Structure 1
């Protein structure tokens, strides 16, 4: 299981603490693999871009108008976090429902 996010993101750290066998991939340092990004965009579409983030607020209008794929490649921190890959399944965000779904996969 891989958690795509930021090492200093509190939500990503909560997910990592609840899923001790997961590996954190810092998207700012390592980037998001194209295959994972494409699958996440197909599943979550526009929800993958966090329009409430400080990164989003710092973008100019031209950057905000970019396609989600190009925007996340250029500014990985604008991605909603965490993005969790468990086998062939993807989960976005960290909530009680996501946590329960992931724990049921492991048992």
Structure 2
């Protein structure tokens, strides 16, 4: 998200992932427990998710304001490439996030 052409699109994707993770954490509060696939609720997770989200948004916002991308880069082809790149990254990290709970 820090150095992307379509900053607002990436911001929306990143924010939706953050909200999804917070919802999963509260789902763990009501449905989770030791030994379940869902996991256990932890306030430290909420704090770390929030601090990480705020720091990445602030850093990327400062970098994006100081380094405006060239208007020639705003093409449909670049938007399609960036969308596919984001989907690939989301899938990779979703798999990496699930792997520790399988063992």
User: TM over 0.5, yes or no?
Assistant: no
User: Higher strand fraction: Structure 1 or Structure 2?
Assistant: 1
**In terms of Rg, which structure is larger?**
2
Q: TM-score, normalised by structure 2?
A: 0.31
